[in-house]
Amino acid sequence: MPDDAFDDDDGPGFPPEPRPWPGPDRYTLRGWVEVELALEGGARVDAAHAVLDDGIRRAFGPGVLGWLAEALAAEGRDPQDLAVLLDDDGLAGRVLAALHERMGADEQAPEPPDAHLVWSAFSPDDPYGGRRAIQRASRRRRESARRALLEPRPPRVAGRRDR
């Protein structure tokens, strides 16, 4: 099979590439801190440390360790005490925001993630945000519950045997 068998746009192929790992997010930062603390504690995590050390530099940029120390110092914490990032989620979020800010200012760092993206249950192109469907369902909740209690269930057809 030739290598370009999946290159055509007409037929089936591989799914699009997922977001590249590692991302400049809280989990990459926490993973690196956990492995760093394990290494300091004497655990044998040399290979994991090498992978995550390269990963954090690729995700945040080459100056991430200096930025991390600056962000911790700006918060009034000891820059050498990384365990505080695991203990305090609020602090970790503020440090992560400071890292993203520094990423935007550095030309060697990748682009920081868009801070305006949010998780939402509503479609972004729905002008009402899907709220009308939820309002209708909540208005009909009492009626639907009464109907479910009083009306008999419809008979099951598929997979039923009478003996």
Reported as a single tens digit per residue, the pLDDT across 116-139 is 556 666 666 666 666 777 777 778
Reported as a single tens digit per residue, the pLDDT across 29-87 is 999 999 999 999 999 998 999 999 999 999 999 999 999 999 999 999 999 999 999 99
Name the more confident of 14 and 11. Answer: 14
Q: Is the dihedral of CA 123, 124, 127, 132 positive or negative?
A: positive
Helix and strand totals (H; E) in the chain: 7, 0
- Report the pLDDT value the prediction gives residue 11, as an integer from 0 to 100: 45
DSSP 8-state secondary structure symbol assigned to residue 62: T
Question: Would you say residue 123 lies in a domain?
Answer: yes
Question: Would you say residue 21 lies in a domain?
Answer: no
Contact 45, 35 (CB under 8 A): yes
On whether both 92 and 129 belong to a single domain, the answer is no
Mean pLDDT of 111-120: 68
- Report the pLDDT value the prediction gives residue 72, as an integer from 0 to 100: 95
DSSP 8-state secondary structure symbol assigned to residue 25: S
- Report the pLDDT value the prediction gives residue 108, as an integer from 0 to 100: 87
Range(s) of the domain holding residue 49: 26-105
Contact 95, 75 (CB under 8 A): yes
Contact 24, 60 (CB under 8 A): yes
Mean pLDDT of 127-154: 79
